[in-house]
Structures are given as structure tokens and as C-alpha cells.
Chains A and B, each alone.
Chain A
Amino acid sequence: MNVTVARLTARGLLGRRRGLLLLAVPALLLVLSVIIRAAVGQDESTTVNVLGTLALGTLVPLLGLIAGTGAIGPEIDDGSIIYLLAKPLPRWKIVTTKLMVAFGCTVVFGAVPTYLAGVILFGNFEGVAVAYGVGALVAGAAYSAIFLLLGVVTRHAVVVGLLYSLVWESVVGSFVTGAKTLSVQQWSLAVARQIADPGVITSAVHLPTAVPLLVVVTLGGSALAAARLSRLTLAGEQ
């Protein structure tokens, strides 16, 4: 961790309009939860539905996308990253710091609101709220790492990220069961399933598969991003 890099990244992420966007998404989830609770009452299947599809299926990947790519992509695009890179600072430190900031964003704007939405919808019964909160936490870490890597590798990180989370995880996943094995969403559901009371949450992947994959993707993504950043060239800017 480097404090200066973290400060610059956080200000870049939360400043401008992106900060409002990051705030709007969880706010929407909480407002919806209040409305649903008022309309439907305390209902387990509704809660699982809302938290599974809305929170874990949409909110967290979206936040991961905004925070992960936003933590590094714009700087690479406009070239200002040069001020970070032209320093006697190991590149992996820069990547790790940026990943921590992106992850922090998914915790504050993703995991915590998910837990709160769970409490609003279903109280603290059957461990549902905590389960989804923890699920959102680990998903946030994995998404941040994946999308940070995308932000380093390609200038079209947001498009590629959207394709992954919308097309692969949602569409392909719902038709091709095998695709669910390679889905951050399913991995985090596996974690959530373990925490909640048995039978409440379902997941296509078992915990022994999910946890190693989560770890590999998170660590591998950051390692690749660091390796890529240390070979970053500024050739194509003319």
C-alpha cells in the first residue's frame, strides 16, 4: 500500500461524477428494499430473489466494474499514470494499492448496502443478510481484481467488463449450466450458501470449487495487472 497512490486513486474515483454514480446504485437498492418490504412484507423467497439477482447479480458486478476499471483505466487513457510510474516505486505496489481502493469501494457501496438491504427485507433471520453481505464482499474483491486487470490490459475495459457480467454471467449462465462454474456470482453465492441456514440460498458451484477459484482469480488478476503495468509502454500515444 502506498498512501499517496491510494489518495490519488480514491479522489479520482469518488470525485467528479463517478462518486455520485457509485452512491446512486446502492441508494436505489436500499429504496427498493424499503418499498418491497412495505409491499410484500417479510418474505424469504423475495429476499433471496432481490439480494441474489439485484444485489449480488447486478449491484456488485456493476460496482466492481466502475471501481476496478475506474481505479486505473482513465489514468492510462489520458497518460497521467506516467506520474505514478516514473517513480522509484514497485509497480506491484501501485496495482495492489489501487486494488485495495477499488475493493474498498465495493465494500462501502456494495457489501454494506447489500447487508443493510437484507436486514430491511428480512431482518437478521436465518443469516440471510450476513450471508449475502459476505458474498458481496468476496465477489467485490474478485470483480475488482478482474476489472482492474481489464483496465490495464485494454482501453475497452468497460465494454469487455459489461460483456462478461451481463452476457456471460447472466445470459450464457442461465442457458449453459457449465458456464456457471466460471462465474464470480456463483462463487460468491457458494460462500453465501455456506453462511446462511441450509437450504435458503442455492448455488451452482460447491464451496471447495468456489473458494480456490475466488482466490486464484483475485490474486492472479492482480499479479497479471502488476506484470502488465511494469511493461507498460507509451508508444501508441502519438
Chain B
Amino acid sequence: MTTISIDRVSRWFGNVVAVNDISMRIGPGVTGLLGPNGAGKSTLIHMMSGFLPPSTGSVDIDGVPVWKNQAAYRQIGLVPEREAMYDFLTGHEFVLANAELHGLADPGAAAQRALATVEMEYAQDRKVTTYSKGMKQRVKMASALVHEPSVLLLDEPFNGMDPRQRMHLMELLRRFGAEGRTVLFSSHILEEVEQLARHIEVVVAGRHAASGDFHKIRRLMTSRPHQYLVRSSDNRALAAALIADACTAGIEFDPREDALRVQAVDFYRFAELVPRVAKEAGIRLLTVSPQDESLESVFSYLVTSA
């Protein structure tokens, strides 16, 4: 069980502040580091992996600073974003070299195990140059896993993967998370994070915009109107009944969809109100669907309010 602690960390490059006073603790399980491009995700991962010192604050793994601490790499498996690897090697040679560099007792067996984990044995004797992007990603993954680290850091791991490879990697990461490893991956693509991590850390413009369970974060943002699409047997009558309550802020009739677009300001009260009002007025509810439960909307909200 390993915890990464980021304590009041800022990092600037000249006049540019890439990371601004961020504190977070990342424990076992899968955590998604979410944010738009240029938000400071890579900077954070570089600091967690000891390739960048924080300008202020501290980045520790189990209480030990990572910067200039090569022993920390016994615990860390890093999957960098950049594709360059030792292209002149075969996949097997590459993973084996990583195992040897870790000083493992039986590097050959470790390399074989790691390649089996990522299901790359079938192409292990081909040169890395001949690999597709997804295959390279998997071999990088194998090289990061070869010493069975307790922390796995992945910078935009799903970039350039096809859906099947993505599913496979997600499954793998879920498994590592379930095994009690601390898995952190960054992504700017919301559905990836949504599918894989229940715990997310959102970084926007170098700031820590949100932290915690995705749905909880969503609900905590009460200041934000939630959008619902409501379709019923009598939309206009339902609209009249709903707008009478303070939990709704606005209702629009959408003739194309033949439905109501409701802005609710109080999530819980609205959820309770709709069925009650419909029942009292004898209206049949056909559809009640949240319009913005996706991370995309959480995200754009955080971006505008940060």
C-alpha cells in the first residue's frame, strides 16, 4: 500500500505557472488525473516520477521525496507519454533490458511475465520499430511492470490506442488497482476517466479544481444547474407544476424533441419532486434523463468557474 503525497506544490517555468499550489494524496486503486491539454497533468506526473523538482512544496512517496531519489524507482513504474524507446531492440530485448536495469534476480522470467501480462508475447521478437502505437504502448507498460511496482504512473496511456486495446489496458489497470497498487493515469478525454476511475483529480489551468468520487463531485456542485430532459404524456401541464417549485430555475419546451428541458438547482429535491408532481397531476412520465452527467459537462463547468 503506497501513497503519493503532493503537498502545496507549485511549479513554474520562467513566468509561466504550470502547477499552482496543488495538494493531493493518491492512494491504492485507480485514480484518474483529468484536465484539458496544458492543464499541468504532465508536469504533475513528472514531479511524481522524479523528473522535475517542484518549485515549492513537496512530492513524496510514502513520506520520502521523489526528486533525486533513485531508490524510489524500485516502487515506481512509469509509462511515459513520449513514444521513443530503444527502437533497435525487439520488444523482448527492451523489456529484458528494463528488468536488468532494475537489478532483478531473474530478469528473464520477469520480462516474460510482464510481456504475458500485456499479451505481447506473440510479437516479442519483432523490432520495436515495427510495432503499432498500441503495441508500443503495451511494451512500455510491460517495461513499467517488470519489477512489480506498487505505484504505476501513466501519462496519457490511451493516446493512439484502438478501442479494443483501450479496453484491454483499462481491464489491466483495473486489475492492478484491485490488487492494491496505486495507479494514476492522466487523460484529457473524459469518457476514458469516467470508464476507469471512480476517483478523480481534476486539474484545470494548473489548479486543483476538484477531487474525489466523480458522482460526488458532480453533486457537490450545487451552484450549478443540472439539465434534465423530461418527456411526459402532458408536457405543458407538467412544466407548470414543476416551475411552481423553487428547485427548478427554468423550463424550456423543445418541440423538436417533444420534451421539456428543465434546469434544476436542487438535485435531491428535484429528484423527489418530479414523480410526486406527475402522480398528483395524473401525468405519465415517459423520459427523465440527465443531460449532462458526462465528465465533459463537469469539466466545462470547472473550466469556466476556475
Interface residues of A (CB under 8 A from B): 2-5, 7-8, 11-12, 15-16, 78-80, 82-91, 230-235, 237-238
6 contacts between A and B (CB under 8 A): A4-B97, A7-B97, A80-B86, A88-B102, A89-B101, A233-B51
Question: A73 to chain B: closest CB distance in Å?
Answer: 13
Query: How big is the B interface, by class?
Result: 20 to 34
Inter-chain CA distance A86–B97, complex, in Å, is 13
Docked-complex contact B98 and A78, CB < 8 angstroms: no
Looking at the complex, which one of B43, B73, B82, B101 makes contact with A5 (CB distance below 8 Å)? B101
B76 at interface, CB cutoff 8 A: yes
B42 at interface, CB cutoff 8 A: yes
Interface residues of B (CB under 8 A from A): 13, 38, 42-43, 46, 49-53, 68, 70-74, 76, 78, 80, 82, 84-86, 88-89, 97-98, 100-103, 143
Residues in B with CB closer than 8 Å to A78 are: 82, 84
Residue on A with the closest CB to B103? A88
Residues in A with CB closer than 8 Å to B85 are: 80, 83
Looking at the complex, which one of B88, B100, B103 makes contact with A12 (CB distance below 8 Å)? B88
Docked-complex contact B73 and A87, CB < 8 angstroms: yes
Residue on A with the closest CB to B102? A87
Docked-complex contact B52 and A233, CB < 8 angstroms: yes
Residues in A with CB closer than 8 Å to B86 are: 8, 11-12, 80, 83
Question: A84 to chain B: closest CB distance in Å?
Answer: 7
Docked-complex contact A235 and B98, CB < 8 angstroms: no
Docked-complex contact A235 and B70, CB < 8 angstroms: no
Residues in A with CB closer than 8 Å to B68 are: 230-231
Question: B20 to chain A: closest CB distance in Å?
Answer: 16
Docked-complex contact B70 and A80, CB < 8 angstroms: no
Known contacts being A11-B88, A87-B70, is A234 close to B101, with CB within 8 Å?
Answer: no
Inter-chain CA distance A8–B89, complex, in Å, is 9
Residues in A with CB closer than 8 Å to B13 are: 235
Docked-complex contact B49 and A86, CB < 8 angstroms: yes
Question: B75 to chain A: closest CB distance in Å?
Answer: 9
Residues in A with CB closer than 8 Å to B98 are: 83, 87
Known contacts being A4-B101, A238-B42, is A16 close to B88, with CB within 8 Å?
Answer: yes
Inter-chain CA distance A235–B101, complex, in Å, is 24
Docked-complex contact B101 and A84, CB < 8 angstroms: yes
Docked-complex contact A90 and B88, CB < 8 angstroms: no
Docked-complex contact A234 and B46, CB < 8 angstroms: yes
Docked-complex contact B70 and A89, CB < 8 angstroms: yes
Kindly list 15 other residue pairs between chains A and B, CB separation below 8 angstroms, not including A82-B80, A234-B52: A3-B100, A4-B100, A12-B88, A78-B82, A79-B82, A80-B84, A80-B86, A82-B51, A82-B82, A83-B101, A86-B51, A87-B73, A89-B101, A90-B70, A237-B82
Question: A20 to chain B: closest CB distance in Å?
Answer: 14
Residue on A with the closest CB to B101? A87
Inter-chain CA distance A83–B42, complex, in Å, is 17
Residues in B with CB closer than 8 Å to A79 are: 80, 82, 84
